[in-house]
Structure 1
């Protein structure tokens, strides 16, 4: 009974969160991003990671975009995770330049009653062909709800700050989703997010992104 109550409470909170997000950002494009992620052990607190993420959208300017990511996952101590990674984005047919993006993330997590709270800080250096490179900072707060059967609901908010010529807050995302344990080594995350970006000094209409992440741990 207690698990059922927690599950219903989590669903209500997620629906409200999503309703607020879509109300604020509705009217943009819909983007589907199926992601495939692998990881394997190097040491007890160190793993290699890799992923492939195509972007499927009705926006012809972004059609054909694919992201490749490789890196490390390191847990030097309890409640602390460090992830140095390299991301390469091929832009498909939109005519924009491809992008190389080295980045590093530091995440701190802890429990607050039945909830798990994680705060991630990420710095990334965006190098687009034929364009000036610049740093971007991303801060994300994520709340995981108690697990119901094999499902762990979550919600999060992330803000983006671009250094360089802009030197300003230029985007944010609000999202809800759930992690589903499919087996001992296989898991699936389903994540619906609203992304709001600033272009030419003005906030544009937000896009709705559906992200599915199929994860396999060796």
Structure 2
């Protein structure tokens, strides 16, 4: 029974990646995103994380975005974690680097069903932007890691979907679909390699972006 479930998940992943490749040919900029995170466990339930992210646009040739993020989290119960974070962002727009400060609150549900460890994270963020009104935004990221592990590096495929809802516009303005693999180089170093298809609403049009991502996590 469990082997059949793994097979179904494997076929689903192959179809999803194939569909993602087809979608990626439509339009939008090709980008490279690199995220590096260090996690420190303070106690059984408390942890802190520090993160830096760099994004390269114009077909991955020019850096246009950088953020630094500090995160403090507490595990209330086995299947629910809450956390608070502060993110500072610099983004290149019209040849000028613009700053945004973004405190946010997170709540993450985790559960296991038929060997699949689902994760559902809700985030409420307050965007403090230079020269613009400060606004609230809600993000929901749903992650499905496949119950498959290959080689001594524990290579495991995963899928994610994340929506962005802007309260001032009362609508969803962005969606991100991820497909990739997670692996462990050692007990202290984890890696995620993924393809991301982002669709963002610009006025009345939806613009697609195709992203190759590399995520490094150090414990």
Relative to the length of structure 1, the TM-score reads 0.88
Residues 112-131 of structure 1: CA distance to partner in whole angstroms, max 9, x if unpaired? 10212111111111111111
8 Å contact 1:161–1:169 — kept in the other structure? yes
Q: Of residues 192, 208, 211 in structure 2, which corresponds to 1:209?
A: 211
Mapped partners of 1:51, 1:96: distance in 2 = 20
Tell me if 1:155 matches 2:159: yes
8 Å contact 1:85–1:104 — kept in the other structure? yes
Note closer, same or farther for the CA distance 1:6–1:177 as it changes in structure 2 (3 Å cut).
farther
Mapped partners of 1:90, 1:75: distance in 2 = 31
Which consecutive unaligned segments of at least 5 residues does structure 2 have? none
Q: Of residues 182, 187, 192 in structure 1, which corresponds to 2:185?
A: 182
Mapped partners of 2:20, 2:69: distance in 1 = 28
Relative to the length of structure 2, the TM-score reads 0.88
8 Å contact 1:97–1:130 — kept in the other structure? no
Q: Which of the pair is proportionally richer in strand?
A: 2
Note closer, same or farther for the CA distance 1:9–1:181 as it changes in structure 2 (3 Å cut).
farther
Q: Which residue of 2 aligns with 1:126?
A: 127
8 Å contact 1:194–1:208 — kept in the other structure? yes
Mapped partners of 1:36, 1:55: distance in 2 = 12
Q: Which residue of 2 aligns with 1:90?
A: 90
Report SS of the residue matched to 2:96. coil
Question: Pairwise CA RMSD of aligned residues?
Answer: 2.4
The number of equivalent residue pairs is 214
Mapped partners of 1:37, 1:7: distance in 2 = 30
Task: Report 1:188-207 matches (<5 A).
Answer: 188-204=191-207, 206-207=208-209
